[in-house]
Amino acid sequence: MHNIVLVCTAHTETGKCNSDELHKIIESLGPDVIFEELSSDLFDKFYKTNQFPEGTYWILAMCIQVLYFTLMESSKTQATVGKMAMGIIVTDTNGAKLDFAKAFVRNLCRLLSNLTLLIGYIIAAFTEKHQALHDIIAGTLVVKKPAAVQA
């Protein structure tokens, strides 16, 4: 089980996250997900100060991205919030849930798909199982969520 903290930085004048749809999805995830709202002022203060060497933000952002995708795709939902909204999940090539290590490899390889000028994603249109470069390397598939599993 993973405890996942999602942070909303898009707020209304009242200071609350303005995405009702996001709240509905998060509620459906169950008790393993903790939703935290971060005030825009605090977010701006943290990210707009230049106290770190150049490139640190990029490295930090990549680490957060890999960790987020890995935790979500290896969780019982097998999907990120966006994938859940689209009704798709990530599995191994046998249709089984990903363990943390396989999800981690997949998401490290996503960086490679990005660094190839997105060609790593484009090849999904031409492969038999519609796998992107990172899916081929990690041995994973993105598939529609089975109807029996959908809530």
pLDDT tens readout for residues 13-55: 555 555 666 666 666 666 555 555 545 555 555 556 556 667 7
Is 35:8 a contact under the CB 8 Å cutoff? yes
User: What is the distance of C-alpha 35 from the center of its chain?
Assistant: 15
Identify the three-state secondary structure at position 52: coil
Q: Which domain, by its residues, includes 30? A: 1-49
Q: 19 with 58, same domain?
A: no
Whole-number percent of the chain with pLDDT over 70: 63
Total number of domains in the chain: 2
Sign of CA dihedral 137, 138, 140, 142: negative
Is residue 95 located within the same domain as residue 113? yes
Both 16 and 43 in a single domain? yes
Shared domain for 88 and 67, answered yes or no, is: yes
Token couple for 110: 């996503």
Radius of gyration of the chain (CA): 17
